[in-house]
Structure 1
Amino acid sequence: MKRGKTLLILCAILVIAIVAIIVEKAVKQHIDTVNTIDEEVFTIDEDDLTQVAIEYNDDSVTLVQNDSTWQISDDTDFPVDQDYVADMLSYFESVHASFIIDDVENYAQYGLDSPEATITFSTADGDSVITFGDFSTIDEKRYICVDKKSVYLIDEDILQYVSGSQDDFLDRDEVYDYSQITSVVVAGDGEANVVYDPDGEYTYTDDYDFYYVDGDDYSPVSESKVTSFVEKLSSMDLTEYETYKATDDDLADYGLDNPTLKVTITGEIPADDSEEDSDDAAVESQTQTIYFAKADDADTAYLYFEGSTIVYAITADDYDDIADVSYGTLRPTEVVSVDWTNVAQLSVDIDDEAYIVNVEYDEKDGNTYTVDDETVDFVTATSLIDSLSLTEVGDDYSKGTEELAFAITLNDEDATVVNVVLYQYDGDSCVVVVDGKTVGLCSRTSMSSLREEITSSILNKGKEVEETEEDSTTDD
């Protein structure tokens, strides 16, 4: 009995203690006031700012504005990307919130006791401080506090546009976004001399606007391949840099005093103060030269833009990809490019047999093909000629037996003739010779298909017309 009474007394004491603790916590607890709002809670004007100090996790950077130019406070030689700073600050011109939390006593519950980031905006009138806390669990909106007062839930997490790393503010060089490339010159480990000349009359067709210049010779190259080469340069990863204030001695240390590759691009870009979207927007010509250096067997290559003091590091693979440029990499893949409405005749040699295919064009009916005054169905053959493409480009291939030859005579003032000869090379390829010049290899399967189609068309000359006439007689 005594033991039972003792247990009851102890339980009663425990209950009283628990109640006392709850009451004490209830008395001390402070309930924050939360209200829904839709208003601007912070604003700044970039022109009014004298300094912006950013602390973001373990990074920190302080920017000062002098004569409308932003600089790193403790490193005025650092080239600051002014557009990057302006873009970042634009998100603070008008900060909107969905909720306001007043009478805050415990900032820790919003992650504001140890904020993820703190930004101090300084003007001639004083400082304004924004601290960035956690995200709300309900709607995943960011908590911020302005000047250590009320807490807000902001509509957009503007912290994603902020960086505390000085490197992110570096005004990195970049290849211009050319509206028209006019020339590309490469020397060193790669080699090219390409010009844009849409009115040039260097070949039998006007399908090409870019030409590879070798002395007095102008050979057409693919516009898409020229553009692709420039895009390689534009997309170089310039994240890693060695120095942003390179001296002549620094350039020598990286081998850039004696570059292994030099690329010069000239083209048109929108002129300053011009409207880019306007049809008659003014343009100006700009030239950029990029120097590269890579030691044999090195894993890293270095580069800098002429006129810049920043030396960048790229991988050896990226360097090799850029250096892999030549006439062979830029030449169009098609063996020939003709407008069949402007063809007068096609001569074909197969197994020492020569055939002449005459062509007549009519605006209404298109082309008519005849051999010995008899109609032939040659449309598929012309399509196969159009699709005949190079699998490799080059001029150093051993020619075997001639397998197919054809000459296309154009209906122009000079009766221009384009000669194509295909020779056996191996079981998979044929050597392609155009106008007496070896240009590369093509698929032997493509050659065989073209040869068979031409042979079949010529052997079946006139049959299509006869069958049509027979069908007409039967119908009568």
Structure 2
Amino acid sequence: MKRKRGVIILAGVLVLLLVIYFALQSWNSEQEAKQEEEEEAAVVHVTQTDAEDITAISFDVGNGSIELVKEDGTWYYSPDRDFPLNQTYPEDFAEALGDITAERELVDGDELAAYGLDEPVYTVEYTDTDGNVTSIYFGDTANGDYYVTTGDTDSVYTVASSLIDDLNYQLSDMAVLDSFPSIGSGNLVKEVITQNGETTTYDSEDEEQEEDIAAIAGGLGAVDLTDAADYSVADEDLAGFGLDEASRTTVEVTYTEDDEEQLLTMYMGGSDEDGNRYVMINDSRIVYLISEEVCSNILNN
């Protein structure tokens, strides 16, 4: 009987401990939520716009004017909507600009001129889905932060300089460039060159062209599509690069990839002042700059 009573007492103690445990868990959760609310209330928001609601962004932080617009969920470079824009950049800009928090807010501060805000160093603007335009002005720096104000208020804040770093890109940094296949002697099947109405063919099955194929493969393997002269060339501008049909050299390369034959078409035009050739590939509208040496190898000159 005593043993049974002891079990009942232990069970009661266990239930009590469980009640206390869950009560403490609930209390801790409430305290954490309360602390988060207090911390959020203490944050000063210079801007507070959902990134998804931002439809246009413009700024110049020393790398040239950047003007972006979003339509149907896709971002474009406004002056040239055919520019191959990497969507990650405007999405990141919208995230950074839509929720700018202040390091501190100046209370009873001086005139804007005292902070370099009468003639801002940088001006950044964004537009939301309702057509509201938010202008953010950056003035002098203080201890690594920028003095900032917005177009609809005289309030002055300091914000981390990393905000400008988040925007510190040239347009060329935001381009999606073409990829060039991996081609070497082992997978180069054939190359056909058409220039001035004449055609020259190099075939890997022709033993007498073994050295030619090796030289051509060396050139193709050295192609680097990182430097562009134009990101969305118009047809009427092709002649300026020597890439119009009447002037260009066409190179058709057959190679294997995963045991299947693929075709790559390259167009070679004139040269820039540094001796690099203007080149386009397949149906891309990007004009690349490739060294004369690499092009000569591809053409087996």
Contact 2:280 2:287 survives alignment (8 Å) = yes
- Matching of residue 323 in structure 1 with residue 299 in structure 2: no
Selected match of 1:150 from 149, 155, 172: 155
Higher strand share: 1
RMSD across aligned positions (CA) = 4.8
1:346-425 equivalences in 2 (<5 Å): none
Contact 1:121 1:128 survives alignment (8 Å) = yes
Instruction: Name the amino acid aligned to 1:109.
Output: A
Higher helix share: 2
CA distance in 2 between counterparts of 1:38 and 1:192 reads 69
Contact 1:72 1:80 survives alignment (8 Å) = yes
Contact 1:181 1:268 survives alignment (8 Å) = no
CA distance in 2 between counterparts of 1:81 and 1:326 reads 32
Instruction: Name the amino acid aligned to 2:293.
Output: D
Selected match of 2:251 from 256, 262, 265: 262
Instruction: Provide the residue aligned with 2:234 in structure 1.
Output: 246
Instruction: Provide the residue aligned with 2:140 in structure 1.
Output: 134
Contact 1:175 1:288 survives alignment (8 Å) = no
Instruction: Provide the residue aligned with 1:274 in structure 2.
Output: none
Please report how far the alpha carbon of residue 49 of structure 1 lies from its aligned counterpart in structure 2 after TM superposition.
Answer: 1.6
Output the TM-score relative to the length of structure 2. 0.59
Please report how far the alpha carbon of residue 157 of structure 1 lies from its aligned counterpart in structure 2 after TM superposition.
Answer: 2.1
Selected match of 2:122 from 114, 117, 122: 117
Unaligned segments of structure 1, at least 5 residues: 1-36, 194-211, 270-283, 328-476
1:16-415 equivalences in 2 (<5 Å): 41-56=46-61, 59-73=64-78, 75-92=80-97, 94-125=99-130, 126-136=132-142, 139-147=143-151, 148-162=153-167, 167-168=171-172, 171=175, 173-176=177-180, 183-184=187-188, 188=193, 213-215=204-206, 230=221, 232-238=222-228, 240-241=229-230, 244-247=232-235, 250-256=237-243, 257=245, 258-260=247-249, 262=251, 264=253, 288-294=264-270, 299-312=275-288, 314=289, 318-325=291-298
Unaligned segments of structure 2, at least 5 residues: 1-41, 195-199
- Local SS of the residue matching 1:47: helix
Bigger relative contact order (CA 8 A; separation at least 6): 2
| Count of aligned pairs | 247
Output the TM-score relative to the length of structure 1. 0.41
Instruction: Name the amino acid aligned to 1:175.
Output: S
Q: 1:73 to 1:169 in 2, by over 3 A?
A: farther
Please report how far the alpha carbon of residue 112 of structure 1 lies from its aligned counterpart in structure 2 after TM superposition.
Answer: 1.9
> Which digits, 9 at most, give the CA deviation of each residue in 1:61-120, with x for residues without a partner?
432221112234455455544333224334335434433223333222322221122111
Q: 1:62 to 1:252 in 2, by over 3 A?
A: closer
Q: 1:53 to 1:95 in 2, by over 3 A?
A: same
CA distance in 1 between counterparts of 2:72 and 2:52 reads 10
